Structure 1
Amino acid sequence: MFEEIIIAGFGGQGVMSMGQLIAYAGMLEGKGISWLPSYGPEQRGGTANCAVVVSDESVGSPLVTRPSTVIALNNPSFDKFEPKVRPGGLLIINSSLVVRNSERKDIKIIEITATDMANDLGNSRVANMILLGAFLEQTKIVSAESVLESLKKVLSVDKHHLLEINKQALKKGASLVEVGIS
């Protein structure tokens, strides 16, 4: 198994957190991982992306130029990274914010109204976790249990009250892939 992932969106959408959670979960499961953040000139509101590599073997380089998966949380990220998904790869789109459609026929595309669904759950900030849940269900790269265990370590103790809503968001995203809703 060798998965190269790019997660991209605006600063403040949880892009870096998604990448860190995948990387930490991979470490918990004894996999080779790398996580490489990239920020625009502004942190909150500017563009941000991270590259994550998860493998059954050691990872030789953190650079990802032809990702097997792209998770795009906004239009600029979609525009930049959709063409880079390798043929046979996966593109997950937050269709609440991405208004463009991919014309590619050589990749699997999952569109999820993640921001709208997060609002329905009562916290717009868990849109990233809905997308992450769909990604985990589709790829099985790491388990949701490992991601939740990692979340306990990533969140400060005073934020542990958010663990339950994040768990609900992961389950929501996974359920969308299970039933084929996009």
Structure 2
Amino acid sequence: MAQQEIIFAGFGGQGILSMGKFLAYAGMDENMKVTWCPSYGPEMRGGTANCSVILSTDEIGSPVVTSPDTVIVMNRPSFDKFEPTVKPGGLLIMDADLIPDESLRTDIRVIRIPSQTIAQEIGSKTIANMVLLGALVKNTGIVPTEALLKSLKEHGKEKFYAANEKAIQSGMGFTV
């Protein structure tokens, strides 16, 4: 892997920025070059939020992501905005519980995951983001699973670690 560019997008409060942050920390632990750029509206919780992450074995020329390899979307407005930006051959991971729409693109891989339902079964809808993050790691191989779990343990809240780990493992069951 030379470089992978990812966009995470959804409503504020869904853990969008956290997904990117945990992935960025995992990349740093793997001695990769990393950028993490958050973006959110002034209303924060309930407003739209997104972040871009670039992981690379080489120097990163710009932190700006315009044609991502992978996009994870957790709401309809984010789907509408970012689905067209996925580069051909790229990956779109969608929260199927919150986005009933299907992608009409035939030049990308799409994974629809009922992450709200899975997270609720584990114990809390607040970990739906971790289900999607597990699918990202499994389908891209961007970082080893162990590196992601280490990132969660070191940079997340300890009381949520067990549920987050279970959510990540659940998400890893979804492949293209």
Report the number of matched residues.
175
Q: Which residue of 2 aligns with 1:97?
A: 98
Please give the per-residue CA displacement for 1:47-103, whole angstroms capped at 9, x wherever unaligned.
000000011112121100011110000000000000010111000000100121110
Q: Which residue of 2 aligns with 1:49?
A: 50
Alignment of 1:166 with 2:167, yes or no, is no
Please give the per-residue CA displacement for 1:144-173, whole angstroms capped at 9, x wherever unaligned.
211111112222xxx312111100000000
Please give the per-residue CA displacement for 1:104-133, whole angstroms capped at 9, x wherever unaligned.
000000000001110011111110000000
- 8 Å Cα contact 2:111/2:174 also seen in 1: no
**Amino acid in structure 2 at the alignment position of 1:168:** K
Q: Which residue of 2 aligns with 1:175?
A: 173
Task: With the length of structure 1 as denominator, give the TM-score of the two structures.
Answer: 0.93
**Amino acid in structure 1 at the alignment position of 2:90:** G
- TM-align CA RMSD: 0.9
Q: Which residue of 1 aligns with 2:6?
A: 5
Question: Which structure 2 residue ranges, 5 or more long, are not aligned?
Answer: none
Q: Which residue of 1 aligns with 2:141?
A: 140
**Amino acid in structure 2 at the alignment position of 1:139:** T
Task: With the length of structure 2 as denominator, give the TM-score of the two structures.
Answer: 0.97
**Amino acid in structure 2 at the alignment position of 1:84:** T
Q: Distance in 2 between matches of 1:176 and 1:53?
A: 23
Percent identity at matched positions?
51
**Amino acid in structure 1 at the alignment position of 2:7:** I
**Amino acid in structure 1 at the alignment position of 2:93:** I
**Amino acid in structure 2 at the alignment position of 1:13:** Q
Q: Distance in 1 between matches of 2:110 and 2:123?
A: 27
> For 1:49, what is the secondary structure of its paired residue?
strand
User: Post-superposition, which runs of at least 4 consecutive aligned residues in structure 1 deviate over 3 A?
Assistant: none
Q: Distance in 2 between matches of 1:44 and 1:145?
A: 30
